[in-house]
Each structure stands twice: as C-alpha cells, then as structure tokens.
Structure 1
Amino acid sequence: MKKKMMILMVAFSMMISMSVACSTKQSDENISENSAFPQNFNATGYPIVNEKVTLKLMGSKGASQGPWDQMMFFKEMERLTNIHFEFDTPDGKVFPEKKNLTFASDNLPDVFFAGSLTFFDQINYGKQGLLIPLEGLIDEYAPNFKALMEKDPAIRRAITAPDGHIYALPQVSDIIRDMMFFRTYLNAEWMEALGNPQVPQTTDELLELLKRFRDEDPNKNGKSDELPLSFTNAKNDSLAIARTYIMPAFGVLEDRANLSRLQVTDDTVNAVFLSEGYKEFLKYMKTLYDEKLLDPEIFTHTDQQLKAKGQENRIGMTMHAAPFSVFKVEKPEDNEKYPLVMPLTSAINSEKLFTPRPNITIGTFAITKNNPHPEATMRWVDYLYTPEGFMLGNQGIEGEAWKWKDDSKKEWERITPEGMNKEEFRAQNTPDIGSTIPLLKSMEINYKQNDPVNNILNDQANKLSEYVQEAMPLLFLSEEEENRVNIIKNDLMNYIAQMEAKFVLGKASFDDWDNYVSLLKKMSADEYVEIYQKAYDRWKTTK
C-alpha cells in the first residue's frame, strides 16, 4: 500500500460542544441498559456522580514517577468527577507478568489505566468476558472520543477487534513531532571543521561525508577515534534504527505499527526481509562496516554508552529524539545548529521516504466485568480526550504545573519549583511521563508551548512530514491468527536478526542469499505474510 499518512487535525470546539448521543442498541450483558441511568450518576455535566464512588485501578508505573495517589492529575480528576481510585501500580518492568496473573486469578481491578493491553489481551480476555465491550458506552457517554473516531476513522479501525467489539481505548497523538521520531542529525562541530559541506541527499553522498568524518580528524584531537555513524542498539534487533532511517532510501519500509517486518504495496502484503531493496540495504550497511564508518560496537553497546561517545565528541551522525540527546549541546537554541538529514535516495530508489511512528497506541484503558460503574468510568476517561484533559494529563493543574504567558493564551510555559528538573516535577504530577495513558495529545496546544527546543523540533518534524509513508496500518489479528503468528514470528525474527548481523559483518556471503530466502520460506514466511494479508483485507472493510 502506497499511502501518505494524513496528519490528524482535531476540531476541538466541535468535540467540546458535541452533545451526548441519545440512544443505542446494546446486547452485551456487561453494559447497563441505556434506558435506565444508575442512581447517583449524571449523564452530562460535573460531577459525574453526586456521591463519591471508589474504584480499583491497575496501571503500569514508570520508574521516575511518584506515587499515583499523590499526583495532582488524579486528585484534580477526583475533585472534578467525584470518582476516587485505589491504586495498584506495579513497576513497568514487572507489569506484564502482574497483569497476566491478575487475569489468571480473576482478581481483577475495575479499571486498567496505562494498561499496556496487547491485541491478544483484548481479544482473549474480551472473549472470556473479563473485559467488557466499550462501543455502547462510547456511543452514550464518550462524546469527545466518539467525535475523534468520526474525525479519523483509522482510530476505530485500529481498536476494533475481529469480533466487532472495542475492548480498550487508545492514546492518540496528532503532534507531528511524535510521529517523526527519531530524526537523523549530523555533528555541527564536525561539519564546521570540514567547511560546512552540503548535507547528504543520497546514500552515495552520505558515504562520502562519512569517509571525511573518518579521515579528516573533525574532532581535532589528533587521534583516529571518530565514529562516523553510531546509533541506539535495540535489544535483540541491533539494526532496527538503520532499517527505519536508512533502509527507506532503497525503497522498502520498516513496519513501525505492527513490528511485522512487512510492507503493503498496492493492497498486497510483502515480506521486506525477502526483498531486493532489503538486500541492497544490507549491502550498504556492510560497506559502512567494511570502511570503518559504522561504530564497531553497534551490535553490543547500550544507549548510555552511545550518549557517552556523543558527549566525548566522537560521533559524526546519529538518530535520536534531538541533538542534545546524544551530542554535547551547550545552549537550548544551539540544537538548531545540528544539521537535520532528510530522507535519502539511492541508485535503486528516487523517492524520499520517511516511515512514521504510529499516532495510535492501543490498549491504554479498559473496563473489567467487576466495575460497578461503567457509565461513570467511561465519562471519566472521555474527559482526557478534550484540550483541558490533555493539559491536565500531560502537565498537571493550570497555575500549579503550567500557565498561560498572558491573557491572549497564545503561549504557555511550564512552572517548575526552584532546584527541580522540569521532567522530574512533571513525573510527580502525572503518569504521562513514563506510562502510556489514554489521552488525545493535541498539536494545537502543544505547539503553543514557549520552549525553544520544542519549536526547533516541531519545525524539523513539519519538514519531514512531507515524505511520510507508512509501511502498513495498525492491524488487529484474531485470536487464532495471533497464536499462529506468535509461533512463526519468534523463530523467523531470531533467524533474520542473526543473518542481518552476519551479512553486515561479512560472516555470511550475499552469494548465499537464495539459501537464506529458501530457509525463511521453510520457516513459514509465506504463511506469515498470508495471515497479515487477511488481517489487512479485514481492516480495509472496517468502517
């Protein structure tokens, strides 16, 4: 599928003013009859309940976060809605195990918030009746989220299970910078040392620049210690960054939505790892390695070690969230000095392509069968899909965590106590830093932040957005498909990762490419592609 991503622009005023839908058909036993509102419940306005109710909430807690029961986000939501939570917040590293034990023991919370519910979780536990269908509640009690789905039908497609139900709500971002993540940067000091040469436009031009980084001592220390290209080593997938930011130059894309290593072209799903474009990409990476242009520790180093090399002024080009994330940048405004490398072309592909990160993160919020107040719970979470809910969830309370610069409300800025780091303070206020929560991240509001680094990164993201093409939309597999894919994918991906390293390091010859392809087909690569083809065909028919 050759599809230019449409950037989600949400009409906030329409969302806020939209009235609650008046009727819907509901056949699921777990959802209350719409014709009889529960006592103590207000279908519109605030508070949501007249007398305070208490619900049990389970969520994945980020390492930097303070206790959730002390966060201004939850305290303000309780003040607004009259809904109080008792929290169970395992650390994110152990949360998947704790979540599985919770389902297995039937010791369910009332709500999963920052629940990291996978597609398999949703279809499996929804089928068992442990998670309740939400579409009826959305129609009745979530006018903001319903308006969001009507504005962007891709959201409904992404969260609707093959059985037709919605079991969990997502986080949605229309912030372009979030989708254009990471970005590729050149070392500003090195470029200046070389006389500010032209930023590469092709893979050949990049090769020549990296050779100059290697040969001309751009860090001026008299040593041959330069690392022309280095980037983050993803666990068990060392070339993931290179596939995302260099491989598109060869006409093939990394599937960042499903992590499938597949691509849709003209409605046909293809295996990127079997393609000629992928083969040419690996040959290019081998050239970089052979020419000592690629960090020799690319398959072993940690992100901390990468950053240490950057701080020592040893890296020429990298891919990361911002220049300061790797390079030693003295002042915030100096981030603009580090050249942004736009998508490259190659001898086999003349089209500039950038693969975006998905703007939809599934499984952030769900209601269980134990919840005695599903209507009130749905109204509670729907607030987070408003501009006010975004700022509360993203920053905290106005006047305490952030403020408008003046009455025109054209710019806002953070409030940070003296002696505290901005992000450290935010982590005490909201779980949105370190956990993925149900939220509509608004570009309209985010771009009003008075922050020089944000302004620089936003401008860069806007430029990259001209070249966006996704490999494949976010697809919801059936339980049977998910089970089969998991069986095939584990061995398939392990073998591909091993061979990637061998091809690049010269431990496997490209003369053996046909044998590599043959073995992948014996490992059910064709069946793997066929499963995603069926899921894609089903996605196309979802309205």
Structure 2
Amino acid sequence: MFLRSRRRAVAAAASALALTLGLTACGDDSDPAEELSANRAGAMESYNVGDQFKATEPISFSMLYNNHPNYPLKNDWLFWQELTKRTNVTLEPSAVPLSDYEQKRSVLISAGDAPLIIPKTYHPQENAFVSSGAILPVSDYIDLMPNFKDKIAKWNMAPEINGLRQSDGKFYLLPGLHEKPWQDYSLVVRTDILQELGLQTPKTWDEVYTMLKAMKARYPDLYPFTDRYSQPKPTANLWNILGSSYGAPGGWGFNHATWDAAAGKYFYTAASPQWKAWVEYLNKLVSEKLLDPESFTQTDDQARSKLATGKSFVITGNAQALVNDYRPDLSKNPAAKLVKIPLPVGPAGEVNPAPRTENGVMISSKAKDNKNFVAMMQFIDWLFYSDSGQEFARWGIEGTTFTRDASGKPQLADDVNVIGLHPNAPKHLQKDFGFYNGIFAYGGKPELVQSFFSPEEQEYQAVVGARQPAPWVAPPPAPFTDEEREQATLWETTLRDYVDQQTLRFILGQRPLSEWDAYVNELKSKNMDQYMELQQKAYDRYKKEHG
C-alpha cells in the first residue's frame, strides 16, 4: 500500500474512510442504531464533538480491570469520584492481576460472564471472540461516538481502522488512537560505562554488538546485557524491537503474517530471512557471552537486580521503566548514569515501528440489550476519545493534581509526582489519585501524549518520530471468515508455540542454525503454507469485495 501512486492511495483512503464511518456492513440494509429506542435510558438527547457527556440519570457499568502492580486499584481514588461527578456514571471494576489478565479475560468471555466494558485489548486479540458472538461489532454503533469518528477523519486513520475489520466488513475493537506514532521501548544503557570505555552511544544494532564486546572485554566476569519482560513469552520486548529493526517483529509485536509492500503480499513472519537474521544476531550475542541466557526465562525482578548490583549494564525498557524502576534501583550508585537510547537501526532502515492505534476496548454483546446502552457508548466516546476526557484521564483535576501555565498548558501540581517529575512530592498521580492509568489514559494528540515526557524523552521522540513509518504497521485488511478464523486459530496456536520454542533453541545454541531449513519444513508440517494460503485468500477476497 505504501508503494501505490499518490492518486490511488488517496482514492483508497477515501473509499476506506467511507466504509469506516458507515454504520452498516456491505449487504446489510438494517441500521442497528435505529433499533435502540429501548436502550436510551440515561443517554443525552444531543451529544456532539466537544460536549461534556453527562448521563441524564445515575447509571453504572461493569468493567474488567487490569490491575497494575505499580499502582494497585483503590476504590477511593479521586479518579472514580470525579468521573462520577462529571458523567453521572459509576464504573464497577472487576479487578484482575496484570499477570493473569489475558487468560482471565478469555475465560470470562467464553463463559458469558464478562463485564460490559472490556478494555486493555490489543488487536488481534479480539479475533478469538468474534465467531462466538460474545463481543459487539462496535462499528455498527460508531454514529453514537462523535469524538471517535472525528479523530478518525481528522487524522486520516481509515487504513488503521480498516485493518481491524473482519470478513463481514465490521470491526469489534475500539482502539486507542494516536495522531502521531509513539515508539517507547528501546535499550537502556549505562552511559557512565560508555564514557569509561571511550564509546559513543550506539546508533545501529551492529554498533550495539561492538559496545557489548567492549563491555565484556573490560568486565569479563559478567554478561553486559541482561533482559526482562520474559513472562509469559520469552523476552517479548527484545524480540519485538529487534525484530522490528529487521522487518520481522517477534514477541509483543508478533503477527504470523507480515505485509510486504514491495511484493504486494504477505509472508510468514517466523520463516522469513528477516527473522532468521535477527535470530542469528541474538545467537551471536549469547554464544559470545554478551547477552545473559537467563534473559529468556527470568523474572523482571531478577533482571532488575542484576542491573542494580552492577552485574549488567544494558536492559530493555521504556520511559516509565527508566524512571520508576532502573534509576531508583541504582540510586545507591551515584556514579551510574542510565539513558534510554534511540531505538537502534537495523536492516529495515530508519523506520518507526510504532502503530498509531493502541490497545482498546471490546464491548460485551450483552451490552446492546442494556437499557443504558446508548449512554454507555456516549460515555466511552467521551472518556476515551474526547479531548477533555483524555486530558481528565491523564492529568486529573485542575487545581488539585495540575495547574496551567500562561499558555494554558497543563503542569503537574508541585505536591504531586509521576514518572519522576517531582520526585520529592508527597503524593503520586497514579498511586494516590488513579489518574494516568493505563486502562484509560492512552492515545490523543502528541502534545497530550508527550505532556509528561521529560526533556530527555522528548529528545528521544524527536529522533525516532522523524523516521518513516514501518510499511507493515498498517497492512491492508485480510480478515478471515468465521470458519477460516476457527481453523486459523488452531493453526496459529500450534505454530506460535513451536516458533517461540525453536527460536529460543536457536538463540541459545541448543539447536544449530544449520538446521534452519529443517525448522521451516517443520513449520510447513504444522500447516504454515495452508495458513498463508488462507491469509492470501482473505486478502484477495476483501480487496475484491471492498476495494
């Protein structure tokens, strides 16, 4: 899609936007929004972009809640109180520990016991719940969501939204929306060690290798690089950012099929030369004792402990991990200086692998029969997609958690801390108030998304944000039918487990890379080719039916 002529791209985007903003799928003459006369209790009669949503009567909605250990749920948070005050809505969170969230969500949805609002869902996780009818085709109801529609139109996000569509032309996830891509995770490096060794900050993965070699030569008794984020998948972050730099993301960013814009078709990600190349890179790091082999199995606390005690100098992380975890961990060593370096460049070139969509919200199909359904959709639209709702979820209450400067820009109150901005403040925006919570506060304009960023993080974003979007981030739609999805899910589970297992064996040297071709043949025996035939068929069908 990225190689099409400008005229074709504009035409395609216009066509896609028309589909995106429509309420009905092709071939469906009914309008679900017109069938909601019995479901408007509490809804505003007139609700438009920029309006403050407030239900006309007190209402409540159940919600699945991903309980983050860094700021555990508190029922007396000011967030809940103020949300009810502003919207007349009370949320009833069903808290699930972060570590069990995905599994618990699946169990609840499959059993028909899920709360009405199901946030913190990353595409394509919703695919597993479409065929059962357990979640709502939210695209049928976006006329109830003026802020959502407005941002899609203003930010030209039709390609991203259409990438969420199923074979029926509908989408079942309300994603977080970013006006600009925001790439957060990279390598965090002890720059005092770089200075000691006379090294510059590495800009490429080849330079990262050179840096690690120098660290190992100076400190032969340690692994210079140890990593975290290995539960439940091995180094889900490292495989993602490194794989993205090679054009074949793994870990958190893994998709079985990756779009090749130049060839105009999909390829199986974990059987590609790009995948093999980054596996070879990690194998080299492990074999030369530059990367701790325990990185792929250890807990986050174990990885952090090694960094804190000087047993390693490099780890992956994001801005919050740098400020909330690593720097406090190293506070007893005042000489230690940690920096999140710009994502190193690999063979894929200077690309920004971050999408403009974020984790989002599924709605239980039970919700459409709720008398307050229209009010619920208006409420979700205000909280997650309006400028004022996004500011509220992130910043809190003016005069309590933030003030404004002369230009109107929010500033954190002096007695409130978050991400180390006011380290000596007695109160914490997340822990004590419930704002800037990953359930609600994501997406938006760059000035909002980056409003808490330190000067160093803004410098990071300036570097990575100047790079071209990765061509696989917004691929053309290739949705499966229900029958295809059922078959594909079985194949995906088997393939993904085998990919993770064998990739790790290659990296650790437990299986020689000379057996790569045998590994690819093993994937074929597990229906890789049939899966890709299904993917191509789905792409061709959708393109024919929807343009």
TM-score range, shorter chain: 0.7 to 0.9
**1:447·1:458 contact (CA, 8 Å) conserved in 2?**
yes
For residues 3 and 360 of structure 1, the distance between their equivalents in structure 2, rounded to whole angstroms, comes to 25
Gaps of 5+ in 2: 5-20, 418-422
Q: Which residue of 1 aligns with 2:214?
A: 212
For residues 363 and 230 of structure 1, the distance between their equivalents in structure 2, rounded to whole angstroms, comes to 34
Q: 1:270: how far off? A: 0.9
Letter of the structure 1 residue corresponding to residue 349 of structure 2: E
Q: CA RMSD in A?
A: 4.0
- Is 1:462 equivalent to 2:462 in the alignment? yes
Relative distance call for 1:420 and 1:72 in structure 2 (3 A) is farther
Q: Which residue of 2 aligns with 1:507?
A: 510
Q: Which residue of 2 aligns with 1:16?
A: none
**1:256·1:356 contact (CA, 8 Å) conserved in 2?**
no
TM-score by length of 2: 0.78
For residues 409 and 525 of structure 1, the distance between their equivalents in structure 2, rounded to whole angstroms, comes to 55
Deviations 1:166-221 (A, max 9, x none): 44422223464xx31211233211111112x233345544333222101123xxxx
**1:184·1:245 contact (CA, 8 Å) conserved in 2?**
no
**1:227·1:295 contact (CA, 8 Å) conserved in 2?**
yes
Q: Which residue of 2 aligns with 1:15?
A: none
Relative distance call for 1:296 and 1:80 in structure 2 (3 A) is closer
For residues 112 and 237 of structure 1, the distance between their equivalents in structure 2, rounded to whole angstroms, comes to 27
Q: What is the SS of the residue equivalent to 1:399?
A: coil
Q: What is the SS of the residue equivalent to 1:407?
A: coil
- Which of 232, 238, 242 is 2:234 aligned to? 238
For residues 94 and 207 of structure 2, the distance between their equivalents in structure 1, rounded to whole angstroms, comes to 53
**1:188·1:339 contact (CA, 8 Å) conserved in 2?**
no
- In the TM superposition, what are the counterparts of 1:96-135 in structure 2 within 5 Å? 99=105, 103=109, 106=112, 109=115, 111-114=116-119, 116=121, 118-120=125-127, 122-125=129-132, 127=133, 131-135=135-139
For residues 335 and 411 of structure 2, the distance between their equivalents in structure 1, rounded to whole angstroms, comes to 22
Q: Which residue of 1 aligns with 2:283?
A: 286
Relative distance call for 1:77 and 1:209 in structure 2 (3 A) is closer
Q: What is the SS of the residue equivalent to 2:60?
A: strand
**1:257·1:357 contact (CA, 8 Å) conserved in 2?**
no
Gaps of 5+ in 1: 5-20, 218-223
Q: What is the SS of the residue equivalent to 1:297?
A: helix
- In the TM superposition, what are the counterparts of 1:136-535 in structure 2 within 5 Å? 136-139=140-143, 141-151=144-154, 152-174=157-179, 176=181, 179-195=182-198, 197-217=199-219, 224-235=220-231, 237-248=233-244, 251-254=246-249, 259-266=254-261, 267-322=264-319, 323-324=322-323, 325-326=325-326, 338=339, 340-345=341-346, 349=347, 351-356=349-354, 359-365=357-363, 368-384=367-383, 385-404=385-404, 406-414=405-413, 416=415, 424-430=428-434, 433=437, 435-437=438-440, 440-449=443-452, 454-465=454-465, 466-473=467-474, 477-535=480-538
For residues 101 and 137 of structure 2, the distance between their equivalents in structure 1, rounded to whole angstroms, comes to 23
Q: What is the SS of the residue equivalent to 1:471?
A: coil
Identity %, equivalent residues: 19
For residues 441 and 171 of structure 2, the distance between their equivalents in structure 1, rounded to whole angstroms, comes to 14
For residues 100 and 194 of structure 2, the distance between their equivalents in structure 1, rounded to whole angstroms, comes to 44
Relative distance call for 1:389 and 1:321 in structure 2 (3 A) is same
Q: 1:271: how far off? A: 1.7
Deviates more, 1:355-364 or 1:370-379: 355-364
Q: What is the SS of the residue equivalent to 1:517?
A: helix
For residues 295 and 473 of structure 2, the distance between their equivalents in structure 1, rounded to whole angstroms, comes to 27
Q: Which residue of 1 aligns with 2:89?
A: 83
Q: 1:122: how far off? A: 4.9
**1:185·1:341 contact (CA, 8 Å) conserved in 2?**
no
Deviations 1:51-105 (A, max 9, x none): x232331222414456565333333333233334444444445555655565566
For residues 497 and 392 of structure 2, the distance between their equivalents in structure 1, rounded to whole angstroms, comes to 42
**1:253·1:471 contact (CA, 8 Å) conserved in 2?**
no
**1:30·1:369 contact (CA, 8 Å) conserved in 2?**
no
For residues 102 and 241 of structure 2, the distance between their equivalents in structure 1, rounded to whole angstroms, comes to 30
For residues 272 and 101 of structure 1, the distance between their equivalents in structure 2, rounded to whole angstroms, comes to 29
For residues 97 and 496 of structure 1, the distance between their equivalents in structure 2, rounded to whole angstroms, comes to 20
For residues 102 and 246 of structure 1, the distance between their equivalents in structure 2, rounded to whole angstroms, comes to 34
Deviations 1:92-133 (A, max 9, x none): 455556555655665565x315264842355235x3xx5444
**2:39·2:369 contact (CA, 8 Å) conserved in 1?**
no
Letter of the structure 1 residue corresponding to residue 186 of structure 2: R
Relative distance call for 1:82 and 1:119 in structure 2 (3 A) is same
Letter of the structure 2 residue corresponding to residue 55 of structure 1: S
**2:257·2:268 contact (CA, 8 Å) conserved in 1?**
yes
Relative distance call for 1:537 and 1:68 in structure 2 (3 A) is farther
Deviates more, 1:288-297 or 1:166-175: 166-175
For residues 135 and 277 of structure 2, the distance between their equivalents in structure 1, rounded to whole angstroms, comes to 46
**1:59·1:114 contact (CA, 8 Å) conserved in 2?**
yes
Letter of the structure 2 residue corresponding to residue 57 of structure 1: S
Letter of the structure 1 residue corresponding to residue 255 of structure 2: S
Relative distance call for 1:187 and 1:417 in structure 2 (3 A) is closer
For residues 63 and 248 of structure 2, the distance between their equivalents in structure 1, rounded to whole angstroms, comes to 36
Relative distance call for 1:316 and 1:236 in structure 2 (3 A) is same
Q: 1:519: how far off? A: 1.4
**1:213·1:226 contact (CA, 8 Å) conserved in 2?**
no
- Is 1:62 equivalent to 2:64 in the alignment? no
Relative distance call for 1:316 and 1:273 in structure 2 (3 A) is same
- Which of 78, 97, 114 is 1:72 aligned to? 78
**1:115·1:366 contact (CA, 8 Å) conserved in 2?**
no
**2:53·2:379 contact (CA, 8 Å) conserved in 1?**
no
**1:199·1:341 contact (CA, 8 Å) conserved in 2?**
no
**1:112·1:364 contact (CA, 8 Å) conserved in 2?**
yes
**1:31·1:137 contact (CA, 8 Å) conserved in 2?**
no
For residues 85 and 191 of structure 1, the distance between their equivalents in structure 2, rounded to whole angstroms, comes to 49
Letter of the structure 1 residue corresponding to residue 151 of structure 2: L
Deviations 1:343-368 (A, max 9, x none): 334xxx48334532563323355561
Letter of the structure 1 residue corresponding to residue 353 of structure 2: T
TM-score by length of 1: 0.78
Relative distance call for 1:277 and 1:309 in structure 2 (3 A) is same
For residues 286 and 414 of structure 2, the distance between their equivalents in structure 1, rounded to whole angstroms, comes to 47
Q: What is the SS of the residue equivalent to 2:474?
A: coil
**2:136·2:362 contact (CA, 8 Å) conserved in 1?**
no
For residues 292 and 488 of structure 1, the distance between their equivalents in structure 2, rounded to whole angstroms, comes to 35
**2:40·2:372 contact (CA, 8 Å) conserved in 1?**
no
Relative distance call for 1:103 and 1:293 in structure 2 (3 A) is closer
Q: 1:525: how far off? A: 0.9
Relative distance call for 1:468 and 1:85 in structure 2 (3 A) is closer
Q: Which residue of 1 aligns with 2:17?
A: none
Letter of the structure 1 residue corresponding to residue 88 of structure 2: N
